[in-house]
Amino acid sequence: MIKRVGKQTICTENKPKIISTMSVVGPKEGEGPLKDYFDIILQDDTDGQKSYEKAESSIANRAINECIKKANLKEDDINYLIAGDLLNQLTASNFAVRSLSIPYIGVYGACSTMALSLGLAAMIIAGDFANYALAATSSHFSTAERQFRTPLEMGSQRSPTSQWTVTGAGAMLLGRNGNFPYISYVTTGKVKDYGESDPNNMGAAMAPAAVDTIKQHLQDTGRKPSDYDIIATGDLGKHGKEITEKLLLEYNYDIKNRYIDCGVEIYDLKKQNVNCGGSGCGCSAVVTSGYIYKNMLKGKFKRVLLVSTGALMSTTSYQQGETIPGIAHAVSIEFGGQSR
């Protein structure tokens, strides 16, 4: 029987369960308002490694391994590992998993990678192709700055619309059984490009994609914004969040009372000098595996729509004058009550 709902959404009839999560963050993230929800807070953002790139691989590896251990499973129990990051050729993830004996799928969705990897893991289990699948994502402030903007040594002035790439890695392990939060719907987004070309204004570049995916998810499922306790975008930041709220109102969707952005939540915007907030694919990864998941276990949230957002650019593309396309993928996570 076809499991597709509407144009872009699948319904997971067997409801893949998120049986464990793990979040590892850097010192700056560990000083923010969500510090009590993170599993591991690093004292040093190099994690004892000789480069920031090695550090990102190290924290990704730690998140994956600890996530498996928390579920009382072993490497051999995991059928698929789906992971990605922001670096060229997914080097952070590739090097993080080279010591693991798990079938691996590397994915790139820029900062949308957490919802992308989580959605794919859910599809694999919903399709009866695996008993366990693990989704993981990482980013690092210093590796992202070096690759996408300017070396830290230049001390470049930050734009008011810029965001701070989260140093962190999140892992979420999906299984078939148990009383855990589960994934009910996966909505795959479309690439949207509204002409934004400023790499220091990523929120504006990604907001149209978030709007399109949220709108399509609601249309496909027949749900209303009020059916969710939380609608969480990945890392639009303060500016992109405001744009998203306004654009959704044009489609008669008012999400303001239940809408958060992971990039806004992870830092104290007034005290931590991060301009518009957090970014990076580790942003929605650690907020979801930490703050959102743990509050679902407590019963505070029963239904959450995670909409991770990504800017599909490279240093070459924007230096050649290209605009910045955006993408957003949505995953509906539920716990308690009846899915509809």
Decide whether 4-175 matches 182-334 in CATH topology. Answer: yes
Which residues sit opposite 41 in a β-bridge? Answer: 25
Average pLDDT over residues 75-104: 97
Whether the CB-CB separation of 100 and 57 falls below 8 Å is answered with no
Query: Which comes out higher in pLDDT, residue 161 or 3?
Result: 3
Q: Which of 12-16, 55-59, 222-226, 312-316 shows the lowest mean pLDDT across its residues? A: 312-316
The tokens describing 103, both together, are 């079938």
> Domain 4-175 has what CATH class?
alpha beta
**pLDDT score recorded for residue 229:** 98
CATH classification of 182-334, choosing from 3.30.2350.10, 3.40.50.280, 3.40.47.40, 3.10.20.30?
3.40.47.40
Strand 80-84 with 133-139, pairing: parallel
Average pLDDT over residues 306-312: 95
Neighbours of 298 (CB within 10 A): 9
| CA neighbor of 252 nearest in space, from 224, 213, 232 | 224
Q: For the chain, which residues make up each domain, given as ranges?
A: 4-175, 182-334
Mean pLDDT of the chain: 92
Res 250 pLDDT > 60: yes
H/E element, 123? helix 113-126
